Amino acid sequence: VPSEFELIARHFTRAPRHALLGVGDDCALIRPEEAHQQAISTDSLIEGVHFLSNTDAARLGHKALAVNLSDLAAIGARPRYALLALSLPHADDAWCAAFARGLFELADAFDVDLIGGDTTRAPVIMINLTVIGDLPPGAAIRRGGAKVGDDVYVSGTLGDAALGLAALSGQATLEPEDLAYCVGRLEAPTPRVALGLALRGTASAMLDLSDGLSGDLAHIARASGVSAEIDLSTLPLSAALEHQPLEEAHQWAISGGDDYELCFTAAPALAGAVRAAAQAAGVMVTRIGRMVNSNSVPVKFLQANGTAWTSCSSSHDHFAGRE
């Protein structure tokens, strides 16, 4: 059985590209980019809470970093560094090798250094990552900047990961192609880093969708002191979602977690700049509604006939027990 130090040396030690000192000493040393601010965020994945016990280790390595890079993307920061606090029931060499492969593949793609961490034993797998990015002063795209009249946009498609999880837990049945696609979206999300950077100076407010559009957009609405009106018919749906009954597809798109798409607002006059940012980032962006004067609900979903859609959470139980 390898020791803690053998696991670290074998799987988690790489020469840093940006850091002055990486893994191996009591602390890492980094030099902030001249005249930049540093953005820092942390997120945990716990076995049995955030992922199923049989999840592929390489995909977990990818996802653990992806969900953290998504937070940097959501404020418009460029990713630089990551720290990994890893707890495992056993010193599992093969698991660590696969986990590191998934993690470093994404780290390389985004030019991120893993500069430190901690390795301990725990009854279940617990993965905590901290990421550090940078951005020029004033460039951060915060949640509280949305104005009445701003358009609301999302990147990619919504609800795929939640449908994938439902399929894995036996609550939905999908054709093989749709299953592979949705499980891929659940287990290996793509952080929208290039889009976040391209939206600096254009988006008035932004966040990444981790808990579902309805709840997450409400954070922007509350922080900004406005409300959102979303046109159901404009929600971007993948082929897999379109193969579901429309009402259910909308339910997944609105309430499903783990999308890691960006949701943002921008003034109508900047619609061209939004399109240019999407094109530069190579990501589909869809306008789904607008911000209105603050009213009794932070987010209202409108049907094609203009009437409000009352969520069918009472009749559907897809999300019971979801964290």
Site map 102..141 versus ligand ADP, x via CB under 6 A: ------------x-xxxx----------------------
d(Cα 32, Cα 19) in Å, to the nearest integer? 9
By beta-carbon proximity to ligand ADP, the closer residue of 111 and 118 is 118
Binding range to Mg ion, per CB under 5 A, among 27-35, 50-58, 115-123, 281-289? 115-123
3-state helix, strand, coil in the chain (%, to 5): 35, 25, 40
- List, in order, residues 6 or more apart from 32 with CB less than 8 Å away: 38, 134
Query: Who contacts 96 (Cβ-Cβ below 8 Å, separation ≥6)?
Result: 7, 10, 11, 12, 57, 88
- Minimum distance from residue 186 beta carbon to ligand ADP (Å): 24
| Beta strand 299-302 pairing with 262-266 | unpaired
Residue 118 touching Mg ion (CB under 5 A): yes
Angstrom CA distances, 9 to 5, 234, 321, stand at 6, 50, 38
Nearer to Mg ion, 23 or 67 (CB): 23
Stretch that binds ligand ADP, among 17-25, 196-204, 214-222, 238-246 (CB under 6 A): 17-25
Q: How many residues lie near ligand ADP (CB under 6 A)?
A: 13
What residue 84 binds from Mg ion, ligand ADP, none (CB within 5 to 8 A, per partner kind)? ligand ADP
Q: Which does 117 bind (CB under 5 to 8 A by kind): ligand ADP, Mg ion, none?
A: ligand ADP
| Binding map of ligand ADP across residues 172-201, x = CB under 6 A, - = no contact | ------------------------------
Q: List, in sequence order, every residue forming a beta bridge with 127; answer none if it has no partner.
A: 45, 86
Q: How far is C-alpha 153 from the chain's CA centre?
A: 15
Please, which of residues 18-57 interact with ligand ADP by CB under 6 A?
A: 23-26
Residue 76 corresponds to which tokens in the numbers above? 């418009």
| Residue 74 touches which of Mg ion, ligand ADP, none (Cβ within 5-8 Å per kind) | none
CB of 22 to ligand ADP, least distance (A): 8
| DSSP symbols for 117-178 | EEEEE-SS-EEEEEEEEEE-TT----GGG--TT-EEEEES-SSHHHHHHHHHTTS----HHH
Phi, psi of 286 (to 5 degrees): -125, 135
Which residues, at least 6 apart from 131, have a Cβ–Cβ distance to it below 8 Å? 40, 41, 42, 65, 68, 69, 71, 72, 79, 81, 82, 83, 112
Binding status of residue 24 toward Mg ion by CB under 5 A:
no
Q: Which stretch binds Mg ion (CB under 5 A): 82-90, 114-122, 133-141, 270-278?
A: 114-122
Residue 108 within binding range of Mg ion, rule CB under 5 A:
no
Binders of ligand ADP in range 75-94 (CB under 6 A): 84, 86
The footprint of Mg ion on this chain (CB under 5 A) covers a number of residues equal to: 1
Nearer CB in complex with Mg ion: 108/118: 118
Closest C-alpha to 259, from 178, 172, 175, 154: 154
Residues facing residue 299 across a β-bridge: 228
Q: Which is nearer to ligand ADP, 12 or 264 (CB)?
A: 12
Residues that bind Mg ion (CB under 5 A): 118
Residues that bind ligand ADP (CB under 6 A): 8, 12, 23-26, 84, 86, 114, 116-119
